[in-house]
Amino acid sequence: MNTTATRSATRPRRQNRAELGVSLLLALVGAAVVIDAARLNVPYSQSDPVGPRTVPFIVGGLLLVCAVTLTVNVLRGGRGEAEEGEDVDLSAPTEWRVVLPLLGAFLANILLIDVLGWVISGAMLFWGSAWALGSRHPVRDAGISVALALVTFYGFYVGLGILLPAGVLEGVL
């Protein structure tokens, strides 16, 4: 009980303001759905009286209503409960120093996978993620990364018939 209680006492403001961002997101998605649906043609058709617009309008409407209700709820002091887990320590603040490098590793892989191929970019992804998450054994990590990338590359090719991109190692692998 105590951890949750102290947290809500010390950071209600920040949590509130941040949670309004969720309302904003819902409103934006809702608006996008409605606007997108509005530009659809509705051909008259006996076989499809509902048409392609009805469901998007309902979904968009639901999202907009949710956005408004959530805003009211948050302003009146409602709070979303962050999810707990075995490895989640909610008493600590968000560790952006872990999350941002992790996102960086992910993003680098998206940009590099088609150029460098899976073996190199995948190994970099694992190595970078492990480092971001606090592993401090660069050499051991590199070994594991390369091994994982190679095993999955050949495993997918031999076992599943899926040829992952070899990239710059084309011909070597």
Partner 1 sequence: MNVVVGYVPTPEGESALHHALEEARGRKARLLVVNTSRGDALVDERFADEGQMNLLRDRLTASGVDHEVIHGIHGRDASEEILSVARDRRADLIVVGLRRRSPVGKLILGSTGQRVLLEADCPVLAVKS
Partner 2 sequence: MDVWSSLLDGFATALTPMNMLYALVGVLLGTAVGVLPGLGPAMTVALLLPVTFALEPASAFIMFAGIYYGGMYGGSTTSILLNTPGESSSVVTAIEGHKMAKAGRAAQALATAAIGSFIAGTIGTLLLVVCAPVVVKFAVSLGNPSYLAIMVLSLLAVTAVLGNSRLRGFCALGLGLAVGLVGSDPVTGQQRLTFGMPLLVDGIDIVVVAVAIFAVGEALWVAAHLRRTAAHVIPVGQPWMGKEDWKRSWKPWLRGTAYGFPFGALPAGGAEIPTFLSYVTEKRLSKHPEEFGHGAIEGVAGPEAANNASAAGTLVPMLSLGLPTNATAAVMLAAFTQYGIQPGPLLFDREPKLVWALIASLFIGNVLLLVINLPLAPAWAKLLQIPRPYLYAGIVFFATLGAYSVNLQAFDLAILLVLGLLGFLMRRFGLPVLPLVLGVILGPRLEQQLRTSLQLSQGSISGLFSEPLAIVVYVIVALVLAWPLARRLRHGTSRSTIDTQQDAGPDVDAGDRGKVSSS
Pick the binder of partner 2 from 9, 139, 160, 172 (CB under 8 A). 160
Interface with partner 1 includes 84 (CB under 8 A)? no
Window 31 to 50, contacts with partner 2 (CB under 8 A): 32-33, 36-37, 40-41, 43, 46-50
Residues whose CB is less than 8 angstroms from the CB of residue 63 and which lie 6 or more positions away in sequence, other chains included = 26, 27, 29, 30, 33
Give whichever of 25 and 168 is closer to partner 2, judged by the CB atom: 25
Nearer to partner 2, 85 or 171 (CB): 85
Any contact of residue 136 with partner 1 (CB under 8 A)? yes
Q: Which is nearer to partner 1, 17 or 137 (CB)?
A: 137
- Read off φ and ψ for residue 128, nearest 5 degrees: -65, -40
Q: Is 147 in the site for partner 2 (CB under 8 A)?
A: no
Map tokens 């002091």 to a residue. Answer: 77
Tokens of 51: 């048409």
- Out of 152, 166, 167, 173, the residue judged to bind partner 2 by CB under 8 A: 152
Binding partner of residue 138 among partner 1, partner 2, none, CB under 5 to 8 Å per kind?
none
Is the four-CA dihedral 34, 37, 39, 44 of positive or negative sign? negative
HEC sequence for 35-79 = HHHHCCCCCCCCCCCCCCCHHHHHHHHHHHHHHHHHHHHHHCCCC
Our finding on whether 135 is near partner 2 (CB under 8 A) is yes
